[in-house]
Amino acid sequence: MVIHALLAASLAVTSLPATTSQAKIDCARVKCLALTFDDGPGATTPAVLKALKQAGAKATFFLVGKQVEQRPEIAAQVVAQGHAIGNHTYSHASLPTLLDNQILDELKTTQEAVQQATGRTPTLFRPPYGHTDDRVLGLAYQVDLAQVLWTGTTLDWKLRDAEKIKAAVLRLAKRNGVILMHDTVPATAKAMPGIVKELKKRGYHLVTVPTLLGGKGPEPGESYP
């Protein structure tokens, strides 16, 4: 019965257009993994998008407001390809060091920049450097944002080597995991075709964070995973 359902689910997924396939993936039934990309959009984001598209994979991009203003067309491309987007603050600030109104300003100006560039308002945010606390979470609630952290960080910005980054992703990959990478790191973009190929070979469905959460979120003011 379970195998039958799995088979039916995978058939349904492959037979639908890429943009609508995510809704059909049930991560309670199949092995899912969420790749997430922070700090863009940047010069190497299109290469990451290309690798995801070729693999029929979806991901989540946490966008920096200032970067969105500089490359609005790439932000729009992220959304057009069916990926999820999140708020990564306007200036990549360490939020707990700021006053309440400054934190709200970081979040709100980014919501506006993303809305203007993509027509979408994010429901997710990721605090830069993972720096967060209950006050940040309370303020995120006011802006209708759920917090998304990660289960594994590749430290791709430090590795700066495609083979090492691929090895890190494969080591960190686990069912329902959330992997932190950066679409602004050239070696990450270079590693992506090999990463998605190997993850798919290992049976992972590469999904957005909302798909990973299924019906269990995202709820504003809550933190995931």
- Which residues are annotated as catalytic? 38, 182
- The 3-state DSSP class for residue 147 equals strand
Closer CB to Ni ion, residue 22 or residue 184? 184
Task: Give every CB contact of residue 142 below 8 A, 6+ residues apart in sequence.
Answer: 104
Closer CB to Ni ion, residue 156 or residue 169? 156
Q: In this chain, which stretch among 39-47, 149-157, 167-175, 208-216 interacts with Ni ion, using CB under 5 A?
A: 39-47
Question: Residue length, the chain?
Answer: 225
Residue 84's beta-bridge partner residues?
60
- CA dist 66 and 42 (Å) reads 11
CB 128, min distance to Ni ion, A: 5
Closer CB to Ni ion, residue 13 or residue 107? 107
Task: Give every CB contact of residue 111 below 8 A, 6+ residues apart in sequence.
Answer: 87, 121, 122, 143
The correct pick among 27, 38, 78, 107 for binding Ni ion (CB under 5 A) is 38
Please state, in angstroms and as integers, the Cα–Cα distance from residue 16 to each residue in 12, 13, 21, following that order: 6, 6, 6
Q: In this chain, which stretch among 8-16, 32-40, 47-55, 184-192 interacts with Ni ion, using CB under 5 A?
A: 32-40
CB 88, min distance to Ni ion, A: 6
Closer CB to Ni ion, residue 160 or residue 202? 160
Examine residue 39 and tell whether it contacts Ni ion (CB under 5 A): yes
Q: Looking at residues 171 to 210 of the shown chain, list those that interact with Ni ion (rule: CB under 5 A).
A: none
Taking alpha carbons only, the member of 106, 97, 24 closest to residue 62 is 106
CB 126, min distance to Ni ion, A: 7
CB 19, min distance to Ni ion, A: 27
Residues 102-141: x where in contact with Ni ion by CB under 5 A, - otherwise, as a string: --------------------------x-------------
Q: Looking at residues 44 to 103 of the shown chain, list those that interact with Ni ion (rule: CB under 5 A).
A: none
DSSP assignment of 18-75: HHHHGGG--TTTS-EEEEEEES-S-TTHHHHHHHHHHHT---EEEE-HHHHHH-HHHH
What is the contact surface with Ni ion in residues (CB under 5 A)?
A: 38-39, 128
